[in-house]
Amino acid sequence: MTALRDVRSPAWPTDPMAEPVVLLLMHGYGSNEHDLTGLMPALGLDLPWASLRAPLDAGNGGAAWFAITTPGNPGAQPVAAATEAIWAWVDANLASGTRVIPIGFSQGGLMASQLLRTRPERVLAPVVLGGFVLGAAQPGDDTLAAERPALFWGRGAEDRVIGAPAIDRTSSFLPLHSTLVERVYPGLAHGINAAELGDVREFVTINAGIGAVGGR
């Protein structure tokens, strides 16, 4: 398995193994590891972060977590391979007791939900932006149904990239497997706006027990 490339926060700790919580950023299809890093100053969370590059080449400098075959309904095996690649990065770079807060957009949003659904004990306050969940059952689903951890799902009311079947599937799954905070933003297409960033900041601050910049 090829190790995932990443970019890290300017204040990435000299001993990341000692960190109790780390943010993981995961971009959407055709983008790259630099995409979501520009949101971090506006998000204002006082945590180290790493932004991962998806393993598949999508051309023009972009990458993908899995190939698009049926939009909004990827096969379980390619998603599992991408999930394993992320966990391999976590295992190689963070201590076994470090919990991750995954923030993912679009395909990256699905990957954020996959981390929760495969190793729920390692994940804290996941954030799914413009994303959806996989249809196939995952190893942690029974645990999630029992424990209902906090999860943020935000999307644009005018999003035409993620189709209705994927939204319906996610709308059915998440309330039964999480304490869901769902936000739909009027006028927003397949993107992220300032209102959503504010809601994410509030969600992570409350549910991960950390502060905004200067308040940790």
Would you state the pLDDT for residue 19? Answer: 85
212: left (phi > 0), else alpha (psi -120 to 50), else beta?
beta
Tell me how far apart the alpha carbons of residues 167 and 8 are, in angstroms, rounded to a whole number: 31
Confidence of residue 214 (pLDDT cuts 50, 70, 90): very low
Residue 45 sits in which domain range? Answer: 17-207
The end-to-end CA distance of the chain, in Å, is 36
Q: What rounded mean pLDDT belongs to the chain?
A: 93
Task: Give the tens place of pLDDT for each residue, 9-33.
Answer: 998 988 877 789 999 999 999 999 9
> How many domains, the chain?
1
Residue 215: inside a domain, yes or no? no
Could you report the per-residue pLDDT of 43-55, keeping only the tens digit for each?
A: 999 899 999 999 9
- Give the residue-averaged pLDDT of 167-196: 98
Q: Which residues pair with 185 in a beta bridge?
A: 156
Q: Could you tell me if residue 11 is inside a domain?
A: no
CA distance 48 to 9: 6
Whether the pLDDT of residue 1 is over 60: the answer is: no
Domain assignment of residue 120, yes or no: yes
65: in domain = yes
CA distances from 172 to 62, 152, 200 (A): 31, 15, 22
Over range 65-83, report the average pLDDT: 91
CATH number, position 142: 3.40.50.1820
- Tell me if 73 is assigned to some domain: yes
CB 151 within 8 A of CB 128: yes
Segment 170-186 shows an average pLDDT of: 98
